[in-house]
Amino acid sequence: MIKQLSRIFILFVLVILYAPILILTVYSFTNATNIGAIRGFSLHNYVTLFTTPELRDMIIGTVVLALVAALLATILGTMGAIGAFYSKRQVSSMIDTLNQVPVVNADVVTGFSICILLVVVLGISKDTFIPLVIGHVTLCAPFVYLSVIPKLKQMDASIYEAALDLGATPQTALRKIVIPQIASGIVSGFSLAVTLSLDDYFIATYTKPATFDTISTYVVNATKGAQTTIKTALWALSAVIFVIVVLFVVVSNLKAENEEAAD
Amino acid sequence: MREKIIELQNITKTYDNGFTAVSDFNLYVKRGEFITFLGPSGCGKTTTLRMIAGFELPTEGKILLNGKDIANLPPYERPINTVFQRYALFPHMNIYENIAFGLRQKKMSEDVIKKKVKKVLELVDLEGFEKRSVATLSGGQQQRIAIARAVVNEPEILLLDEPLGALDLKMRKEMQLELKEMHERLGITFIYVTHDQEEALTMSDTIVVMSKGKIQQIGTPEDIYNEPKNAFVADFIGESNIFNGIMTGKLKARFGGGEFECVDDIEEGTLITAVVRPEDVIITTPQEGTIRGTVTSVIFKGIHYEIVVESGKNEMVIQSVRAPKVGDYVGMKVDPDNIHIMIAEDNTNYFMVDINSDHRLEFNGKLLDTSVTKIIKGSRRLENGSIADSAGEVIDPQRTKISAAIHPRNIQMTDDISAGNVDGYISNLIYKGDHYSYVIHTDLDQDFIADDEYLWNMGDHVGLIMPVDKMTFKLVRK
């Protein structure tokens, strides 16, 4: 009895978690104009999604932004983590704390304050993309730091010394010994940064150029508007993103399992 | 006489928090020597090694390598290589790449590297391991690779930081001999760090015994064993019976409850520390013995028996191939040659304390207010009051002894006999400028040394108050 109840409960949770996106996915393959009335199977949402220049540019722009911001954030976050790790205890715990604040801080506050500083105080135009990129790097770098630090702590500290002892300069030791040891942390930091940037709405609204949209800002505007073809094409976009995410999670879990098996 | 390869002059290392790990360390090492830094954990031996390697910079002093000061040179510019305690192999590289790492830093050609790696793998008996990954190797194999990786660079000095510490006993014994052989074959100077005295005695040409950041004694293994310079060295190297005592006449010393003849000519009345190795005590009939006592424990150790005889409050550990029975009343004598007498340095009193049936410490039938769990590393008190060690095994009070040490200046003398931890009669007093140093002979045939600024008379009956917080304890497991 209890076993059955627990199964039902799990099923209930799974339905809550997955039903919304499944409904959207189903509707994306129809020619319905709004949720409720299904008339027939159609791929026209997908055609619109990949052929409308506006949509295509928006998607490409978002992805490029995510990759650039994640790359910069990964470099900064990794450097910060390594620097903090090899600093004296007080310094490193101070950096740890300072790094926590932006992680916990509300995005809307981060976005707004970056906008104030860069655009209003420093007078940098939003059209240069600089405020947007800096905003996203600020958002992502602390998370990269957080995913690299544990790898450094797990690393056998004496291997860095061993490299120096064998004649490597600190730079070589860092490149050939430390970085490969923390690579998995850097990679997961990078993927986290990409997702964070793709996800972000608040920082982008405050810092993006008026003519540029990320998926988030675009979706928010489009759902407010009355353009039905675009709106239903976004169902297709949601479905595509969902499939990519599922693939990513499955592949990375399989990889992790393989690695564990190898150990 | 071989030349000095490395010389440490007045090396001191003080950390930012004010802790001095090494103070005024002076030592030279000759080319090709196998020298061992030996001491308990926290004695500064590893810090000294790390300063030679370049991982730590000395606060003061010079490190001369072939006459040139290298104290501030970074590790990668020193012709010195290290074998680390936990191997420190690079996990993401295979064995070949691990060993080649140092050679690659020197920009050697791939052909040369290949030959050198092959040769050094032969040296450590791991031919054909080039393609293996670090994770597939056993601890012993990893240690050999760590040695190979260091040796392949042909360093002038090889530093070894407790390299066998992580291996099991059998493997450790094998590796000791192999390392010794490798040292002879390669002719490289080895500086070895260990806390294992047996390892040090087996392998070294020279041993440097360290304690609390200072050198206690430098000498060959034989010197260190036979002629320890102070009580610390005697206690740390091998097993020993250490007694406080006093010179009572020409070549005569009283300690351990009897008067012994000895070969050290020290002025009468001098306070001494006497060391007798367990294998040098001869068991005789009570009449023939210099001292007498009752056998309290006999343990078979394979090649010999370890016998404990209690004589008054003194305890003598004896190693002998013939065993008396527990409870036998026996005599003990020691050949004068085998009594090692040192002028007492700080006169620290050493004495055994008991663990009573409640698993609390007791001395002379009086409870000592201290925690046994603090003395035995990693131990904890169980619910029924008994003590379990770090491995979770219950400690048997019958088989566990704890020795206590207290400095004479921390003992307070009183004429209220019952207030003291122990009482006795003053048998000797020396004026030391600003205080008197007294020898108090107890009814249990123990001599205690106590400092007091007031004058007492010879023969006075006094109580000795020994504050427990001034005592240091050490576990001596039987």
| Tens digit of each residue's pLDDT (9 = 90 or more) over B237-283 | 888 888 888 888 888 998 888 889 989 888 887 888 888 999 999 99
Cβ separation of B75 and A172 shorter than 8 Å?
Answer: no
- CA–CA distance from B138 to each of A163, B86, B175, B199, B322 (Å)? 22, 12, 14, 21, 42
Beta bridge partners of B451: B437
Please indicate, yes or no, whether residues A220 and A238 belong to a single structural domain of this protein: no
Exposed/middle/buried for residue B93 (C-beta within 10 Å: 0-12, 13-18, 19+):
middle
Please indicate, yes or no, whether residues A255 and A168 belong to a single structural domain of this protein: no
Q: What is the pLDDT of residues A145-185, one digit of tens each?
A: 999 999 999 998 899 999 999 999 999 999 999 999 999 99
Residue A238 lies inside a defined structural domain of this protein = yes
Say if CB A205 and CB A111 are below 8 A apart: yes
Please indicate, yes or no, whether residues A112 and A230 belong to a single structural domain of this protein: no
Residues 6+ apart with CB under 8 A from B108: B116
Pairwise CA distance, residues A30 & A40, whole Å: 5
Nearest to B135 among A162, A180, A263 (CB): A263
Strand segments (E) across A100-234: none
Say if CB B274 and CB B235 are below 8 A apart: no
Residues 6+ apart with CB under 8 A from B399: B297, B477, B478
Please indicate, yes or no, whether residues A231 and A157 belong to a single structural domain of this protein: no
Pairwise CA distance, residues B317 & A226, whole Å: 98
Nearest Cα of chain A lies from the Cα of B101 at a distance, in angstroms, of 7
Residue A130 lies inside a defined structural domain of this protein = yes
B387-388 and B380-381 beta bridge pairing? antiparallel
Choose among B445, B369, B452, B368: nearest CA to B410: B452
Say if CB B444 and CB B464 are below 8 A apart: no
Cβ separation of A159 and B88 shorter than 8 Å?
Answer: yes
Residue A72 lies inside a defined structural domain of this protein = yes
Q: Residue A86 is part of a domain; what is its CATH number?
A: 1.10.3720.10
Nearest to B105 among A88, A167, A170 (CB): A167
Mean pLDDT by 10 residues, chain B (478 residues): 86 89 93 93 91 94 92 92 92 94 93 94 90 90 93 94 86 88 91 92 93 92 88 83 85 88 85 88 92 91 89 86 90 92 79 80 81 73 74 72 84 87 84 77 82 86 88 74
Exposed/middle/buried for residue B111 (C-beta within 10 Å: 0-12, 13-18, 19+):
exposed
In a mutational test of the A interface, the residue from B51, B83, B105 whose CB has the highest number of chain A CBs within 10 Å is: B105
Pairwise CA distance, residues B284 & B331, whole Å: 5
Beta bridge partners of B69: B64
Closest-CA residue of chain B to A166: B102
In a mutational test of the B interface, the residue from A86, A88, A154, A166 whose CB has the highest number of chain B CBs within 10 Å is: A166
Cβ separation of A181 and B92 shorter than 8 Å?
Answer: yes
Cβ separation of A159 and B82 shorter than 8 Å?
Answer: no
Cβ separation of B54 and A164 shorter than 8 Å?
Answer: yes
Residue A2 lies inside a defined structural domain of this protein = no
Tell me the two tokens of residue B278: 């367990």
A259 contact residues in B (CB cutoff 8 A): none
Tell me the two tokens of residue B246: 């006093």
Residue A154 lies inside a defined structural domain of this protein = yes
Closest-CA residue of chain A to B97: A176
Pairwise CA distance, residues A164 & B237, whole Å: 35
Cβ pairs bridging A and B (under 8 Å): 64
Please indicate, yes or no, whether residues A65 and A131 belong to a single structural domain of this protein: yes
Axis crossing angle, helix A89-104 with helix A130-154, rounded to the nearest 10? 130
A88 contact residues in B (CB cutoff 8 A): 16
Please indicate, yes or no, whether residues A142 and A216 belong to a single structural domain of this protein: yes
Please indicate, yes or no, whether residues A100 and A67 belong to a single structural domain of this protein: yes
A86 contact residues in B (CB cutoff 8 A): none
Nearest Cα of chain A lies from the Cα of B151 at a distance, in angstroms, of 10
Q: How many CB atoms lie within 10 A of CB A39?
A: 9
Residues 6+ apart with CB under 8 A from B21: B13, B14, B15, B44, B47, B213
pTM of the model: 0.73
Nearest to A156 among B55, B75, B88 (CB): B88
Cβ separation of A172 and B105 shorter than 8 Å?
Answer: yes
B81 contact residues in A (CB cutoff 8 A): 165-166
ipTM: 0.76
Please indicate, yes or no, whether residues A236 and A247 belong to a single structural domain of this protein: yes
Exposed/middle/buried for residue B251 (C-beta within 10 Å: 0-12, 13-18, 19+):
middle
Closest-CA residue of chain B to A263: B135
Pairwise CA distance, residues B203 & B177, whole Å: 8
Q: Is B309 helix (H, G, I), strand (E, B) or coil?
A: strand
B84 contact residues in A (CB cutoff 8 A): 158, 161-162
Say if CB A136 and CB A200 are below 8 A apart: yes
Q: What is the reported pLDDT for B25?
A: 93
Axis crossing angle, helix A53-85 with helix A44-51, rounded to the nearest 10? 70
φ/ψ of B460, rounded to 5, equals -60, 140
Please indicate, yes or no, whether residues A101 and A138 belong to a single structural domain of this protein: yes
Side-chain-facing half-sphere of B35: CA atoms under 13 Å: 26
Q: What is the pLDDT of residues B307-345, one digit of tens each?
A: 999 887 788 999 999 889 999 999 999 999 999 988 876
Cβ separation of B81 and A166 shorter than 8 Å?
Answer: yes
Tell me the two tokens of residue B20: 């001095």
Question: Is a pLDDT exceeding 70 seen at residue A101?
Answer: yes
Residue A35 lies inside a defined structural domain of this protein = no
Tally of structural domains, chain A: 2
Nearest Cα of chain B lies from the Cα of A188 at a distance, in angstroms, of 18
Cβ separation of B92 and A180 shorter than 8 Å?
Answer: yes
Residue A48 lies inside a defined structural domain of this protein = no
Cβ separation of A164 and B89 shorter than 8 Å?
Answer: no
**DSSP characters over B137-160:** S-HHHHHHHHHHHHHTT--SEEEE
Please indicate, yes or no, whether residues A249 and A128 belong to a single structural domain of this protein: no
Q: What is the pLDDT of residues A207-250, one digit of tens each?
A: 999 889 998 898 888 877 767 778 888 888 888 988 988 998 89
Please indicate, yes or no, whether residues A146 and A206 belong to a single structural domain of this protein: yes
Cα dihedral sign, B98-B103-B106-B110: negative
Give the neighbor-by-neighbor strand order of the sheet with B291-300: B281-284, B329-334, B291-300, B305-311, B314-320
Cβ separation of B90 and A162 shorter than 8 Å?
Answer: yes
Cβ separation of B82 and A161 shorter than 8 Å?
Answer: yes
Which residues of B lie closer than 8 Å to A, measured between beta carbons?
Answer: 16, 53-55, 74-76, 80-82, 84-86, 88-92, 101-102, 105-106, 135, 149-150, 153
Pairwise CA distance, residues B275 & B340, whole Å: 5
Closest-CA residue of chain B to A180: B92
Cβ separation of A180 and B89 shorter than 8 Å?
Answer: no
Domain ranges, residue A250: 226-263
Q: What is the reported pLDDT for A263?
A: 55
- CA–CA distance from B182 to each of A125, B120, B126, B144, B165 (Å)? 70, 11, 14, 11, 18
Nearest to A158 among B88, B91, B135 (CB): B88
Cβ separation of A165 and B149 shorter than 8 Å?
Answer: no
Closest-CA residue of chain A to B153: A166
Q: What is the pLDDT of residues B335-394, one digit of tens each?
A: 999 999 888 766 788 888 888 777 788 888 788 887 777 777 677 777 777 777 766 777
Say if CB B404 and CB B411 are below 8 A apart: no
In a mutational test of the A interface, the residue from B51, B90, B106 whose CB has the highest number of chain A CBs within 10 Å is: B90
Q: What is the reported pLDDT for B478?
A: 52
Residue A65 lies inside a defined structural domain of this protein = yes
Kindly report the length of chain A. Answer: 263
Distance of CA B122 to the CA centre of its chain: 36
B85 contact residues in A (CB cutoff 8 A): 158
Choose among B198, B199, B221: nearest CA to B208: B221
How far apart, in Å, do the first and last CA atoms of chain A sit?
40
Closest-CA residue of chain A to B148: A166
Say if CB A155 and CB A85 are below 8 A apart: no
φ/ψ of B412, rounded to 5, equals -105, 135
Question: For residue B397, what is the DSSP state?
Answer: G
Average pLDDT value for residue range A77-98: 92
Please indicate, yes or no, whether residues A63 and A145 belong to a single structural domain of this protein: yes
Nearest Cα of chain B lies from the Cα of A144 at a distance, in angstroms, of 22
Q: What is the reported pLDDT for B267?
A: 82
